[in-house]
Amino acid sequence: MWACPVCSQALEKTERTWRCGEGHSYDCAKEGYVNLLLANQKRSADPGDTREMMLNRRAFLEAGYYQELASALSQVLQDLKIDTLLDCGCGEGYYLQQFLRSQPAVSIWGLDISRDAVRMASKSLKQGGNFAVASSFQLPVLSNSVDLVLRVFAPGSIDELKRVLRPQGAFVLIVPGPRHLFSLKQALYDTPALHDLPEVPEGFECESERRISFELKLPNNEAVNQLLAMTPFVWKGSREAKERLENSAQFTSEADFYIRVYRQNEH
C-alpha cells in the first residue's frame, strides 16, 4: 500500500527495505517503521508532536482515562468489516493497539509526521502494523487502496484521503465534542469557547455518528500535568492560571467526543 514519495509507484518490501520500480529505496529503522517524508515536505527539522508530548500522551492513555472512547471506536470499526485501515496522524498508536486486540486480522497502516510518534507506535505494535513517517497532506499511499481512513484529533487533506480510499471506503473521524475539557478551558481562559463540530466534507455523507461523553476525573497531580502536556492547552492560557492547574492535586473535567463515519457519495 505504501507508494514512493518521489515517483508515486508502489513500494515493495524485501527484508528491511522498501523499493519502487524506479529504484528509489527506503530502509526501515530498527523499530520497523520507514521514513517516507522527503526533506522538502518538512516545514521544520523535527515536525509534529514532540517526544515529550508523546510520552505524556502515552502515560495518560495507558492509565485508561480515554478507555471508553477507545472501546467505542473499536466497536465502530469492527462493525464496518474492513480488511485494511490507514490511521493518518496515528500518534503513538494507542487506538490502533486497542483495535488490533479485537481484530488481529485487519491490515493496519499508520503514519504520522512526528518521528518520535511513529517510532513509539511501531515499537509497541511490533509485527501488528506498518508504520511510516509521512504527512497527511501528501500521503505516500497508492490510490484506491484503503478500506478505511481513520483520523483521531489530527489534521490532514480531504483530497488526499479521497484519493487513497477505495470507492466504497469509509472515513472515520474523531473530533472533540462541544463540551470537551470545558472546565479545564474555564480554568485557563476568561471566555472559553465551545468546540464547533466540523462540516461533513464535500463528496462524503455522514453514515453514522456517536457521541461519547463522560466525567473525566483526574485523581492526582501527575494526571493533570499529563493532560496539560499532551494537549494544545499547554501552549496557551494565562501563566498564573496554568501554574495553578499544574499545582492542583486533582481536577475533574468533561470528556466529550464524536465518532463519525463518513462514506463517499460520488461513485
Ligand X SMILES: C[S@@+](CC[C@H](N)C(=O)[O-])C[C@H]1O[C@@H](n2cnc3c(N)ncnc32)[C@H](O)[C@@H]1O
Q: Which residues bind Zn ion (CB under 5 A)?
A: 4, 6-7, 20, 22, 24
Q: Which phi-psi region, left, alpha or beta, contains residue 11 (left: φ > 0; alpha: ψ -120 to 50)? A: beta
- Locus of grid cell 485487519: 106
Nearer to Zn ion (CB atom), residue 40 or residue 44: 40
257 phi/psi in degrees, rounded to 5: -135, 155
119 contributes a contact to ligand X by CB under 6 A: no
Residues in 6-65 that interact with ligand X by CB under 6 A: 48-49, 57
Least Å distance between CB 33 and ligand X? 13
135 contributes a contact to ligand X by CB under 6 A: yes
- What number of chain residues touch ligand X (CB under 6 A)? 18
Residues in 166-225 that interact with ligand X by CB under 6 A: none
89 contributes a contact to ligand X by CB under 6 A: yes
Nearer to ligand X (CB atom), residue 19 or residue 153: 153
In angstroms, rounded to a whole number, what is the distance separating the alpha carbons of residues 78 and 72? 10
- Locus of grid cell 483520523: 151
Q: Interface residues with ligand X (CB under 6 A)?
A: 48-49, 57, 89-91, 94, 112-114, 117, 135-137, 152-155
